[in-house]
């Protein structure tokens, strides 16, 4: 069989020859044989891009111009014989690289773990039975069932193809779907784009159905031989657009900081300071003041949020979506399966004469007139299947209809077992399904679908029948119409025989609302997020469901797909129509994309939900694409930024809350880095202005960069929120991280740190202390400054005493580590020699503590002014 597995010949073989070459059959492999082949060929796993090794990640942390400057400074220190300073600089660089590398590895591991939460599955036929199995267990010779919305996970030689169209853009670059044929004759030299008899791994079924035999798996597929692979998740967290934007922000801040440092260096040179000391100090001050660790800190904050969201059933595939969901202003949601349970049951019947039969009626009396007739057509025109236990599996509508047939006294197995001469599977664009049955009295053609579609095929349809359907829809039911006719024989394709039908009746299906969804929509509205519902239901059905959800709308707030078709999607009239609608009913699959684009054009930040292959374009186009984890297709999940593990709309609200928490956490990180960095620069400018010596040495600045920023700023990313995130106004973009409000929060605290540091330096020198003793006090004062500022901005909207320490134990851990390092530096001989530190008198300690308390008071007062209504 190994020779037969050559990927060059399968598209030329007849389907029967392919089965024979693989020692398989239409009933599929046995479980024993499948296990043997799995051991022989390995799991069906597509190759993933090579990942950087830990050593490479560690070395990458040095790829920074500022780090190059610091390395040069260390080498310069060695050249002039200052070994202690040199080794300390190298030690700081190594520690920073180690911290950054560990954080990057953790972020990448988190992304890999989240990726595994969204497994791909395939529907296999083995020993005549159909199973849904993980695609990794597919082996050559397996029979795979294909249908609309499924991603192909192996190379398959088609055996049957009924209207099968496949999107092969990933493999061939062809943007248009390709119509497949199991009987086509294909040349041996045909490229993958022209192999009409094949379905290749990595492609997606756009329309139709089919089946085929697996001819190649894993790296043996066509996809495995090309230089790009299908990835089930986004890029590594450190490569995300958000982090790149944060790097741009860091560079902008760096330019301003370097300008101030240049001015400071010139002033020091004019005062006669040693040139070498100026160079070392300028570089150390730049590394301390410029937030070069901001991208890493932001990535950690996003990764922590992704883990919290995963615990709340929101699986993150793209880290920027964590914060992006918190910024959304509109959620365009599917109804079925998201707002509702997608557990349909037939609750009402309507006969052609207008007689209504409720579920309770036929459960009490199964002999009601017309009930058996509708039960039969519901079982005949049905694509569900029965398991060994007799329970139905398949589409929710078909399962509900099969349950109706059983309740009407019919045997589902008998109805499904009738001879089917031809059939048309249900497709959203067609809005109907049909079957031709070979019965003793002739060929029975049975059709089901949307009432307006079915009634157009019936010769006995009248206005009264449309009124029946609209009345059921107005009561909140999903309405399906049935029609049939009997002919002597089938003339041509079934599609040409669906006219002159007779109405059988209507069924009304109900789909219960999900638990908590009403409260979730109310919460969204209170948070300033508008909720729009998109459904294929009748307008009156959609209106009834919307009002059950608490949206409180009228029929004029419902826009139909037919109304949307009357306008060019790029026109202002189309955008106005979309903006004014709360519910979109009877929409076609491609109209969802137009709705999303129109909302975005109006300035909204749009999160859209979807589960089908046709939702893929809308999910990609939306600012935040949200796919369903259980009911969603592989295509939808691949196109989305987030996946709801429980398919529940209420979970989106949890994601919005976490997104807003993440924004605030990132904002706190930026505030902490910029305020403390600005204070350190201003400290030197203030000392110069008063004719004082430099308040800190270069090595002491580097030490503070490790003790304060290095172990404390990242901990702000683990904050779990202040509890009022959903009560705050929507923030649209990251650009607002640094706004007027942020500047007001930074400046007073930074200026207080500056003034107190200069005052400590001046008073110590005025009291006759040495410059080393004065600098020793300034170092400890700066450590307390950072503690005070960290404690204050932990909550932006509340006084620091109104929160509970367990909210962020990481922050207290960081503070404990920082003070431990500082005590070590002040009391351990080797570090004392390098840093110029020493134990401090109790009177000086109280002075340093008082400085920290004063910074806390200033920052808290500033918060109260900025957030007066909320503090």
φ/ψ of 448, rounded to 5, equals -135, 155
Structure tokens at 311: 């615990």
Q: Residue 517 and residue 650: Cα distance in Å, rounded?
A: 5
Q: Residue 43 and residue 48: Cα distance in Å, rounded?
A: 14
Residue appearing with tokens 């979309």: 578
Q: Residue 714 and residue 704: Cα distance in Å, rounded?
A: 15
CA 279 to chain centre: 46
Dihedral, CA of residue 851, residue 853, residue 859 and residue 862, to nearest 10: -100
HSE on the CB side for 341, CA within 13 Å?
A: 11
Which own/partner pairs from 520-524 qualify as long-range (CB within 8 Å, at least 24 positions apart)? 520/649, 520/650, 520/652, 520/653, 521/549, 521/550, 521/551, 521/649, 522/550, 523/653, 523/726, 524/331, 524/653, 524/656
Q: Residue 310 and residue 654: Cα distance in Å, rounded?
A: 10
Q: Residue 11 and residue 182: Cα distance in Å, rounded?
A: 10
Structure tokens at 533: 């519902």
Structure tokens at 681: 């620069």
398 catalytic per annotation:
no
Q: Residue 796 and residue 716: Cα distance in Å, rounded?
A: 12
The residue among 328, 296, 289, 286 whose CA lies nearest residue 623 is 328
349 beta partners? 357, 507
DSSP conformation letters of 391-413 = -EES-HHHHHHHHHHHHTT--HH
DSSP conformation letters of 669-702 = HHHHHHHHHHHHHHHHHHHHHTTPPPSS-HHHHH
For β-strands 583-585 and 558-560, DSSP reports them as parallel
Residues 492, 428 contacting (CB under 8 angstroms): no
Radius of gyration of the chain (CA): 34
Q: Residue 857 and residue 752: Cα distance in Å, rounded?
A: 10
Residues 610, 619 contacting (CB under 8 angstroms): yes
606 beta partners? 330
- Of the residues 85, 108, 155, 334, only one is catalytic, namely 334
Q: Residue 570 and residue 62: Cα distance in Å, rounded?
A: 48
* 188: exposed, middle or buried (Cβ count in 10 Å: 0-12, 13-18, 19+): exposed
Give the E-state strand segments of 21-154 in sequence order: 121-126, 129-134, 143-147
Structure tokens at 617: 């374009």
Longest dimension (CA), the chain: 117
Q: Residue 661 and residue 297: Cα distance in Å, rounded?
A: 15
DSSP conformation letters of 335-361 = STTTTB----EEEEEE-TT--EEEHHH
* 176: exposed, middle or buried (Cβ count in 10 Å: 0-12, 13-18, 19+): exposed
Query: Helix, strand or coil for residue 166?
Result: strand
Looking at residue 707, the DSSP 8-state letter turns out to be: I
Q: Residue 626 and residue 640: Cα distance in Å, rounded?
A: 5
Q: Residue 297 and residue 782: Cα distance in Å, rounded?
A: 21
Structure tokens at 604: 């909204």
Residues classed as catalytic: 334
């Amino acid at each position: 069989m190994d020779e037969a597995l050559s990927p060059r010949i399968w598209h030329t073989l007849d389907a029967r020859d392919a089965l024979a070459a693989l020692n398989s059959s239409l009933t599929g492999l046995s479980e024993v044989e499948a296990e043997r082949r799995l051991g022989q060929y390995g799991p069906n796993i597509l190759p993933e891009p090579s990942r950087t090794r830990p050593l490479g990640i560690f070395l990458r942390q040095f790829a920074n111009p500022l780090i190059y400057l610091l390395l040069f400074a260390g080498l310069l220190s060695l050249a002039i014989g200052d070994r202690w300073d040199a080794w300390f600089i190298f030690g700081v660089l190594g520690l920073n690289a180690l911290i950054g590398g560990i954080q990057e590895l953790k972020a990448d591991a988190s992304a890999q773990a989240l990726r595994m939460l969204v497994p791909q599955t395939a529907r296999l036929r083995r020993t005549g039975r159909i199973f849904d199995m993980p695609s990794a267990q597919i082996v050559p010779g397996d029979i795979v069932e294909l249908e609309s919305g499924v991603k192909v996970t192996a190379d398959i030689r088609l055996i049957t193809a009924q209207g099968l169209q496949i999107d092969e853009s990933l493999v061939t670059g062809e943007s248009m779907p390709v119509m497949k044929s199991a009987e086509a004759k294909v040349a041996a030299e045909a490229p993958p784009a022209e192999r009409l008899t094949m379905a290749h791994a990595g492609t997606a079924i756009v329309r139709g159905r089919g089946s085929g035999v697996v001819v190649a798996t894993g790296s043996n597929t066509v996809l495995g031989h090309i230089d790009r692979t299908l990835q089930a998740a986004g890029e590594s967290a450190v490569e995300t657009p958000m982090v790149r934007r944060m790097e741009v922000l860091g560079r902008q801040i760096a330019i301003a900081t370097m300008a101030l440092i240049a001015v400071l260096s010139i002033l020091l040179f004019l005062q006669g300071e040693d040139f070498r000391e100026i160079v070392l100090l300028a570089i150390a001050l730049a590394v301390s003041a410029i937030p070069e660790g901001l991208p890493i800190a932001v990535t950690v904050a996003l990764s922590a949020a992704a883990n919290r969201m995963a615990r709340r059933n929101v699986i993150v595939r793209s880290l920027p979506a964590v914060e992006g969901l918190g910024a959304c202003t509109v959620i365009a949601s599917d109804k079925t399966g998201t707002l509702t349970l997608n557990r349909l049951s037939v609750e009402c019947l309507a006969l052609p004469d207008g007689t209504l039969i409720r579920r309770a009626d036929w459960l009490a009396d199964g002999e009601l007139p017309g009930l058996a007739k509708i039960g039969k057509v519901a079982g005949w025109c049905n694509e569900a299947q029965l398991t060994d236990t007799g329970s139905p599996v398949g589409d929710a509508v078909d399962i509900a209809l099969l349950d109706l047939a059983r309740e009407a006294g019919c045997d589902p197995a008998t109805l499904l077992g009738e001879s089917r001469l031809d059939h048309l599977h249900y497709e959203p664009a067609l809005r109907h399904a049909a079957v031709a049955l070979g019965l003793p009295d002739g060929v029975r053609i049975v059709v089901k679908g949307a009432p307006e579609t079915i009634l157009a095929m019936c010769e006995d349809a009248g206005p009264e029948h449309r009124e029946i359907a609209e009345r059921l829809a107005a009561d909140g039911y999903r309405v399906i119409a049935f029609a049939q006719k009997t002919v002597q024989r089938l003339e041509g394709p079934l599609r040409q025989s669906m006219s002159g039908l007779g109405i059988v009746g209507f069924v009304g299906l109900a789909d219960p609302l999900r638990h908590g969804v009403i409260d979730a929509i109310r919460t969204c509205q209170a948070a300033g997020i508008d909720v729009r519902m998109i459904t294929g239901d009748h307008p009156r059905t959609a209106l009834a469901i919307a009002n059950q959800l608490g949206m409180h709308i009228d029929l004029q707030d419902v826009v139909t797909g037919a109304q949307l078709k009357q306008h060019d999607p790029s026109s202002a009239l189309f955008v106005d129509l979309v903006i004014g609608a709360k519910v979109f009913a009877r929409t076609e699959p491609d109209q969802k994309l137009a709705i999303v684009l129109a909302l975005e054009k109006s300035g909204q930040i749009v999160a859209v939900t979807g589960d089908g292959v046709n939702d893929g374009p809308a999910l990609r186009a939306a600012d935040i694409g949200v796919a369903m984890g259980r009911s969603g297709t592989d295509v939808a999940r691949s196109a989305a930024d987030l996946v709801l593990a429980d398919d529940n709309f209420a979970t989106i609200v949890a994601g919005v809350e976490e997104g807003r928490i993440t924004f605030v956490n990132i904002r706190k990180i930026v505030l902490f880095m910029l305020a403390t960095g600005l204070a350190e620069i201003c400290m030197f400018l203030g000392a110069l202005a008063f004719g004082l010596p430099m308040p800190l040495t270069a090595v002491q600045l580097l030490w503070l960069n490790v003790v304060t920023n290095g172990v404390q700023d990242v901990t702000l990313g683990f904050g779990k929120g202040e509890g009022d995130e959903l009560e705050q106004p929507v923030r649209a973009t990251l650009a607002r991280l640094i706004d007027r409000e942020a500047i007001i929060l930074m400046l007073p605290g930074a200026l207080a740190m500056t003034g107190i540091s200069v005052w400590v330096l001046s008073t110590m020198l005025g009291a006759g202390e040495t410059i080393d003793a004065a600098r020793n006090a300034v170092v400890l004062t700066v450590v307390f400054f950072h503690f005070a500022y960290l404690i204050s901005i932990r909550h932006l909207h509340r006084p620091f005493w109104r929160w509970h320490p367990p909210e962020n134990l990481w922050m207290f851990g960081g503070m404990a580590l920082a003070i431990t390092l500082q005590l070590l530096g002040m009391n351990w001989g080797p570090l004392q020699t390098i840093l110029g530190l020493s134990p401090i008198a109790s009177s000086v300690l109280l002075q340093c503590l008082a400085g920290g308390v004063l910074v806390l008071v200033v920052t808290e007062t500033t918060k109260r002014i900025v957030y007066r209504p909320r503090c």
